[in-house]
Amino acid sequence: MFAYCLAKGFLDTAVFVKALDGQIEFFQDIVIDVPHLGEYIGTSFGPAIVIKHLPVDKFFAMVKRHVTDPGQASDIAAAILLAGADADPSSKALFKFLEDEAAVAPFVAAFTAQKPRSAAMWEELTDLDLECLEDLAE
């Protein structure tokens, strides 16, 4: 939904990023009651990030500021990639997105700090055979 609204111009990217930052600011308080919040955030915004309507650098800057647990940050990163793949069954958008080294860097950093807490999520990611994760898959 967010990807569609950003793509159609119904949402201004700068305003959206500012509003989202205000919401993610409370991540550490909310995650106590909603342990899979990182996955939900990644799933919700993944398609918008992969098709580049939501700037990956700004999104991960928010995550870095407000998400102190490396496991949660890794869950968000994994959910973004999986949601991006799910949004486009051919995964063309995801592979095009991952050609950009600057876009890939925050994901590699998140997975280097800690792999996703869900083994199933990590298995799904490695099944995508993403070149940028080859060194981390071992």
Q: pLDDT (tens digit, 9 = 90+) per residue, 102-133?
A: 888 999 899 999 989 888 888 998 888 888 77
Task: State how far the alpha carbon of 51 is from the alpha carbons of 58, 68, 112, 115, in Å.
Answer: 15, 27, 24, 24
pLDDT score for 33: 95
- The CA distance from 74 to 39, in Å, is 9
Do 75 and 118 touch, CB atoms closer than 8 A?
Answer: yes
- State the pLDDT confidence band at 137, using cuts at 50, 70 and 90: low
- pTM summary value: 0.87
Q: pLDDT (tens digit, 9 = 90+) per residue, 15-38?
A: 888 888 888 899 999 999 999 999
